[in-house]
Amino acid sequence: MTLVFVEIEGPDAPSGSGGVQLTSAEAVTFARTNTAILDGGSAADSSPLEVAVIGALTDEARDRLAHLGVDRIHHIDSPDVHAYSAAAWAQALVDVAPTHGTVMASGTPRGMELMAHVAARLGARMAANVVAVDEDGFLRQVLGGAAFERLKLTGALQVLTVAGHACDPEDTAPTEPEILTHSPEASADDLRTRVVRTEVEEADDTSGLTQAKVVVGAGRGVGSADGFAEVLELADHLGGALGVSRVVTSLGWRPHAEQVGQTGSRISPDVYIACGISGAIQHWAGVQGAKSIIAINTDEEATMVQRADYAIIGDLHEVVAAINEEITRRRR
Amino acid sequence: MDILVCIKRVPDISGQITLDASGRDIDHGALGHTISAHEECAVELAVQLAGATDGEVTILTLGTDDAVEQLRASLAVGADDAVLIETEDPGAYGPEDIAFAIAEAVRTRANDSRSCDLVLVGNDAADTGDFQVGVRLAYELDRPVLTGITLLRLAEEAAEVDAASEGGPTSVEAYGIGPAGTEVFRLPLPAVVAVQEGGVEPRYPSIPGRMKAKKAPLDEVDAPEPVHGNPRNALELPPEQSSTVTVLGEGPEAAGALVDVLDELGVLR
Ligand SMILES: Cc1cc2nc3c(=O)[nH]c(=O)nc-3n(C[C@H](O)[C@H](O)[C@H](O)COP(=O)(O)OP(=O)(O)OC[C@H]3O[C@@H](n4cnc5c(N)ncnc54)[C@H](O)[C@@H]3O)c2cc1C
């Protein structure tokens, strides 16, 4: 059997509240389309696809999970799991985990942390950032996306996280998921690592970035902390978010929460517009999930330009200002 | 507060990479080596926290003799001593084996009255990206663990409680970026924390720092034999993609063509 941990969007998510996170929808699709292998060669097609949701389960989320082909939803909710504690949440997942097959999540910070706990608690092996699976084992991203590792996990139960955008969420004939509710009580030890408070500052919120349909990227080419007016205006015109390279955060031009890449957010917009970004492998690791990439760069040899779908060669300030003007003109 | 920071020597990949003859690793020949940005931040956090509490910072790695280069580099930014868990073949170790080897070293040192209140690791290694060594280590040591932590602070409230207790702080405040904002934890010690870059700026080594690092004590111990092993069968490089870019033009004159593209892609609201 396969159990997928599903993350629900917070109330501030751009697409409204309470939906299934995009990356979780991808993980569910990955599980559904690979059940036979993930279940460990058991009676393939009849094996049910189960998910676990911790916290509120909205109608919207239940409906989405039905369209993703889920057979059973473990709805886990109790005072002990209201605030996030990886240990307590992981134990709740362990309590509903199969003895054979796969426990998995998408490769988000929560997904990674919980799966590591689940693997440690169950004595199972774990593979992070899996992109594909076949009879010979898994393929997963390593070296920040610069290479792939082929590996085989031993044991009756395996734990994995699916790399963001390893597949697209795919709707199927809607199911009527059975809902099992659980109200776990956590041990005192497992509550030691509970979130005691959440400080919400706009600058910390990465959900806008990871869920945005359009991301305008800005790199060293912007030139200084004062150079972001045009790119911010463009993001605003397109209802998108600003994402930046590590050089930009290291220089203190923008907050780290806006960083995209191996050590920042991984994004999957419909369009990524990279302005003054060279396209280093560690940056690419975070943006390769974009459906279309547009590069604006003075250097036509830059990796970002070479790997983009469309490019404009030129100074980003001049080019982006002209784009903003053109958008405003067409909207008049 | 005494802190152990676990680092890993990894290839510094900025350009083209190729595979070695075994097909299980990249060719390290022409590459320089470094530690990941997460670990640089972990070292910095450790140096700050230990400095504020009269504690010591120990740097630890599992690797070949070559990793002494990375241990010394971390000593140069303010750590006090280092441990090399030496093996000829670090590639034979799986995440469980690495966690066990580190746990053994922590226990051995504790028996030698050199226990540590905090063990810091990088959130994920820059090469293998396993995202689990810190958590497995915590279970080995039976300690609480947090991952994705960007900042560690002595809590004011905690400091008052701690002032009453003798052996230094009994908890720290940890900060990490969660889905709805910065999440704050009150972590009882001893504990394990996997550090993510973004909360502190790693310092550059000073000249006296480098001098001190050369003479700092470095303990070498043999790594235990790997039991679980590394599940890797092979590495693959992504297929070389030939560029299919459509250059829309040069300079501001190309803006119109780009707005047409945005319209086609359906993002011009
Ligand atoms: C372990 C590790 C993790 C890392 N993680 C990340 C990460 O998460 N995210 C990340 O982004 N990086 C990461 N990096 C850093 C990465 O290697 C690059 O250094 C970084 O992405 C480069 O940022 P950049 O493209 O803004 O700057 P540069 O590489 O300096 O590129 C600037 C680009 O701007 C162009 N340009 C200059 N002026 C103009 C102008 N006026 N108009 C238009 N174009 C102009 C230049 O032609 C150039 O292409 C990581 C590195 C390591 C080692």
DSSP assigned state of B197: T
First to last CA, chain A: 56
Q: Kindly identify which residue of chain B lies nearest to residue A108, measuring between CA atoms.
A: B179
Q: How far is CA B96 from CA A260, B133, B135, B246, in A?
A: 30, 7, 10, 47
Q: Is A249 in the pocket of ligand 1 (CB under 6 A)?
A: no
Question: For chain B, where are the alpha helices, taking DSSP H only?
Answer: 37-53, 68-75, 95-111, 133-141, 156-164, 207-215, 255-264
Q: By the 8 A CB rule, do A166 and A132 touch?
A: yes
Query: Which chain A positions have a beta carbon within 8 Å of B231's beta carbon?
Result: 125, 127, 137, 151-154
DSSP A39-97: TTSSSGGGSPEEEEEES---HHHHHHHHHTT-SEEEEE--HHHHS-BHHHHHHHHHHH-
For the CA of A264, the closest atom of ligand 1 is 8
* Interchain contact A259–B (C-beta under 8 A): yes
**What per-residue string of b and e applies to B236-259 under the rule 16 or more CB within 10 Å gives b?**
eeeeeeeeebeebbeebebbbebb
Count of CB atoms situated within 10 Å of the CB of B114: 15
- Helices A109-122 & B133-141, crossing angle to 10 degrees? 40
Distance from CA of A71 to the nearest CA of B (A): 27
Q: How far is CA A262 from CA A252, A281, A293, B126, B201, in A?
A: 18, 8, 18, 9, 18
CATH code of the region A209-331: 3.40.50.1220
Residues 50-69 of B with CB under 8 A from A: none
In single-letter form, the type of residue at position B72 comes to R
In the prediction, which pLDDT does B162 show? 54
Q: By the 8 A CB rule, do A277 and A304 touch?
A: yes
**What per-residue string of b and e applies to A69-100 under the rule 16 or more CB within 10 Å gives b?**
bbbbbbbbbbebbebbbbbbbbbbbeebbbee
Q: By the 8 A CB rule, do A155 and A99 touch?
A: no
* Interchain contact B145–A (C-beta under 8 A): yes
Nearest protein CA to atom 35 of ligand 1, as residue: A276
DSSP assigned state of A225: G
Interval between CA B268 and ligand 1 midpoint (Å)? 27
- The correct CATH number of B3-222 out of 3.40.50.620, 3.90.550.10, 3.40.30.10, 3.40.50.300 is 3.40.50.620
Going by their DSSP bridges, the two strands B218-222 and B81-86 should be labelled as parallel
Residues 193-222 of B with CB under 8 A from A: 196-199
Distance (Å, whole) CA B65 – CA A61: 52
Distance (Å, whole) CA A147 – CA B17: 9
In the prediction, which pLDDT does B165 show? 59
Distance (Å, whole) CA A195 – CA B182: 10
- Digits of tens for pLDDT over chain A (332 positions)? 999 999 998 765 545 557 898 889 999 999 999 988 898 765 555 688 999 999 999 999 999 999 999 999 999 999 999 999 999 999 999 999 999 999 999 999 999 999 999 999 999 999 999 999 998 899 999 998 889 999 999 999 999 999 987 888 899 999 999 999 999 999 999 999 999 999 876 555 666 788 899 999 999 999 999 999 999 999 999 999 999 999 999 888 998 889 998 778 888 899 999 999 999 888 988 898 899 999 999 999 999 999 999 999 999 999 999 999 999 999 88
Tokens found for residue A300: 């036509």
Residue closest to A230 by CA, chosen among A209, A213, A216: A216
Phi, psi of A281 (to 5 degrees): -55, -40
Q: What is the CA radius of gyration of chain B?
A: 22
* Interchain contact A329–B (C-beta under 8 A): no
Binary contact (A143, B182; C-beta < 8 A):
no
- Digits of tens for pLDDT over chain B (269 positions)? 999 999 999 999 877 789 999 999 999 888 999 999 999 999 999 999 999 999 999 999 999 999 999 999 999 999 999 999 999 999 999 999 999 999 999 999 999 999 999 999 999 999 999 999 999 999 999 999 999 999 999 976 555 555 555 667 899 999 998 887 889 999 999 999 999 998 898 999 999 999 999 999 999 999 999 999 999 999 999 887 778 899 999 999 999 999 999 999 999 87
Query: Which chain B positions have a beta carbon within 8 Å of A117's beta carbon?
Result: 135
What's the number of CA atoms in the CB half-sphere (13 Å) around residue A141? Answer: 22
Q: By the 8 A CB rule, do B152 and B43 touch?
A: no
Query: Which chain B positions have a beta carbon within 8 Å of A323's beta carbon?
Result: 255, 258-259
Distance from CA of B92 to the nearest CA of A (A): 13
Domain ranges of chain A: 2-191, 209-331
In the prediction, which pLDDT does A41 show? 60
Tokens found for residue B249: 């033009």
* CATH superfamily, region A2-191: HUPs (3.40.50.620)
Distance (Å, whole) CA A238 – CA A327: 9
Domain ranges of chain B: 3-222
Q: How far is CA B219 from CA B105, B156, B239, in A?
A: 11, 35, 43
Query: Which chain A positions have a beta carbon within 8 Å of B100's beta carbon?
Result: none
Residue closest to B193 by CA, chosen among B62, B45, B80: B45
What's the number of CA atoms in the CB half-sphere (13 Å) around residue B141? Answer: 30
Q: What is the ipTM of this complex?
A: 0.92
Identify the helix (H) or strand (E) that includes residue B183. Answer: strand B181-188
Distance (Å, whole) CA A194 – CA B183: 10
Distance from CA of A312 to the nearest CA of B (A): 5
Distance (Å, whole) CA B56 – CA B80: 6
In the prediction, which pLDDT does A291 show? 92
First to last CA, chain B: 55
In the prediction, which pLDDT does B23 show? 92
- Helices B68-75 & B207-215, crossing angle to 10 degrees? 130
Binary contact (B181, A199; C-beta < 8 A):
yes
In the prediction, which pLDDT does B47 show? 97
